[in-house]
Amino acid sequence: MILPKANHLTPEQVREITEIVESSGCRIQPIVGAVRTIYAIVGDERDELMISRLEGLPYVERIDRIQSPFKLMDVRSDLSTHQIVIGGVILGKAPLFIAGQCTIDPKNPDYFYETAQAVKEAGAQVLRGGVWKPRTNPYAFQGDDKSLEILMEASRRTGLPVDTEVMDENQLKLALDAGVPMLQVGARNALNYSLLRQIGAAVAGRKTIVLLKRSMHMGTLHEFISAAEYIANFGNPNVILCPRGTAPALDGYRNHPDESIVPLLKDRTWAPVVVDPSHSVGKASYVPACALAAMAYGADGLCVEAHVQPSRGIGDDPKQAVTPDVLAETIRMAREIWALRRRAN
């Protein structure tokens, strides 16, 4: 990681450092912050000659070498002060609540418009809605491009920024062209390195935020944080980690609830952690407890499936969406826990 003396380097200076790092088989990735741009050396940065040549440049303040497989997302990285902002919330400074339907029903858009308004009134700052869905059963409803218009219309009506999952390059393009500010990488794709790279490249230079779910098949935390690094190393470090339960399921729950990993993640990465209790437990009646446990473990927020009439929903909504009343009460209590933790620290 190259820290310049000024807030950023001139094009000639970038050319000079690029030449030096490329001769050692690395490349330079600028990461543009609010005030200062830092320059990540992507590749094996142990080449002593490269480091001493860079250190000798008059416009370089210092070179930070982090021996970590995820040097950008590492808690010791110079990016650790990076702020991610959405829906008026600076992650870490106030809790973030993302809520909305698992799946938008293109035949019944009014449910989504009503849900959008209701989650806003319940205290959510970001509206979620599945346009395209990763379904285990190939004959189940897979989503519909038309739902993207419904998602954006709900955003316009409520003023809430929106979050939706993309699973391929075409969906990625459609979502970005429509102006979706938060993209979800779902559990099934959190280990799909080609997609992570495509998303990283597509969001570079934009303010887009990526909500990266934990794969149900992820073992180590290292795997989870490295998946975030895949995205960030293209230049946009706006990645939020989202534990959502892993396999094998705990008898009675949809997955094995994993909110307890929050403090472990916090020891290793600066990335905000927003827990999804809905997919973790998979049943509406268990969601509030899981949500509050996540906050007690230090989560920066929650991503909760909610629907004005869950039984009329599609996808996961009939089983795991909470009603707006339950959402409002969960958010109220979650805020209290967040404030208690803040006072204790």
Q: By rule CB under 6 A, what string of x and - marks binding of each residue 196-235 to ligand PEP?
A: -----------------x----------------------
Which of Mn ion, ligand PEP, none does residue 244 bind to, with CB < 5 to 8 Å depending on kind? ligand PEP
User: Residue 331: left if φ>0, alpha if ψ -120 to 50, beta else—which one?
Assistant: alpha
Q: Output the smallest distance, CB 63 to ligand PEP, in A.
A: 38
Site for ligand PEP contains 187 (CB under 6 A): yes
* 303 closest CA partner among 119, 108, 118, 113: 119
Site for ligand PEP contains 130 (CB under 6 A): yes
Q: How many CB atoms lie within 10 A of CB 23?
A: 12
Q: Write the burial class of residue 308 (CB in 10 Å: 0-12 exposed, 13-18 middle, 19+ buried).
A: buried
Q: Which of 53, 82, 120, 244 binds ligand PEP (CB under 6 A)?
A: 244
d(CA 256, CA 249): 5
Site for ligand PEP contains 279 (CB under 6 A): yes
Site residues for Mn ion per CB under 5 A = 102, 316
Query: Considering beta carbons, is residue 78 or 276 the nearer one to ligand PEP?
Result: 276
Q: Output the smallest distance, CB 148 to ligand PEP, in A.
A: 15
* 321 closest CA partner among 38, 53, 102: 102
Site for ligand PEP contains 186 (CB under 6 A): yes
DSSP annotation string for 52-73: HHHHT-TTEEEE----STTTTT
| Cα–Cα distance list, 250 to 136, 245, 246, 258, 326 (Å) | 19, 10, 9, 11, 24
Q: Output the smallest distance, CB 316 to Mn ion, in A.
A: 4
Which of ligand PEP, Mn ion, none does residue 187 bind to, with CB < 5 to 8 Å depending on kind? ligand PEP
**Residues at the interface with ligand PEP (CB under 6 A):** 102, 130, 134, 186-188, 213, 244, 276, 279, 316
